[in-house]
Amino acid sequence: MTRGKFITLEGGEGVGKTTNLAFIKDYLERHNISVVVTREPGGTALAEKIRRLLLDTGSEAITEHAELLLVFAARAQHIKHVIEPSLAKGAWVISDRFTDATYAYQGGGRNMRISTIEWLEHLVQGNLKPDLTVLLDAPVEIGLQRAKIRGALDRFEAEKSSFFEHVRRAYLLQAELHPERIKLIKANCPLDDVQRALMDVLRPLLR
């Protein structure tokens, strides 16, 4: 059985991940690929509980270390119970966010040490890396407006716009550091253009 491919979709708030994820799923299925769509934080029962803890605007402030460890705890469950078994069965896994989000939000947004994130990445993932990461990029204000229209803000969405400027910068830096894996797509243009760009980056994986 040929191992499936692992694709992750990244970007700041309100860049259109949901719409484009559905497009990627559809595109791959039209090429007779079996697809598993999942998300982070989340993807398993326990990881979804951790997601609620992370997004909840509860009364007790979550420390940066607790936040980082919760993100990786959820990821450990997700890898073991969903990502690895699906890839081993030959399915392609598309995850709405993965570890680049940790470099962007905890590394960029929270200004946590990159070496700490690298250490946890190695501990939790071993050699697992996405085969392709699509980074949807749009100016922060555009994304935040879209997120606000969607309804009540979660614990991350409620951050200041300077937080998201740092997140965006950290994502762009990740793309610069890993150009072979991370493909940057401008998200503030007509949907047709975004989807054409998506097909361009997916096509080489189909060979």
- State the Cα angle at 123 between 43 and 41, rounded to 5°: 20
Q: Which residues contact 101 (CB under 8 A, 6 or more apart)?
A: 10, 40
Q: Which residues contact 114 (CB under 8 A, 6 or more apart)?
A: 103, 107
Which of 6, 105, 163, 171 is close enough to bind ligand TMP by CB under 6 A?
Answer: 105
* Least CB distance to ligand TMP at residue 51 (A): 7
Candidates 37, 19, 21, 22; CA nearest to 91 is 37
Question: Cβ(108)–Cβ(169) under 8 Å?
Answer: yes
In the complex with ligand TMP, which residue's Cβ is closer, 5 or 97? Answer: 97
Q: Is 97 in the site for ligand TMP (CB under 6 A)?
A: yes
Q: Is 10 in the site for ligand TMP (CB under 6 A)?
A: no
In the complex with ligand TMP, which residue's Cβ is closer, 104 or 202? Answer: 104
# residues near ligand TMP by CB under 6 A: 11
* Least CB distance to ligand TMP at residue 47 (A): 10
In the complex with ligand TMP, which residue's Cβ is closer, 33 or 73? Answer: 73
Residues 13-42 that bind ligand TMP (CB under 6 A): 39-41
Q: Is 156 in the site for ligand TMP (CB under 6 A)?
A: yes
* C-alpha torsion angle, residues 50, 81, 124, 33 (rounded to 10): -110
Q: Which residues contact 193 (CB under 8 A, 6 or more apart)?
A: 186
Of 98-106, 121-129, 138-146, 183-191, which segment contacts ligand TMP by CB under 6 A? 98-106
Q: Which residues bind ligand TMP (CB under 6 A)?
A: 39-41, 71, 96-97, 101-102, 105-106, 156
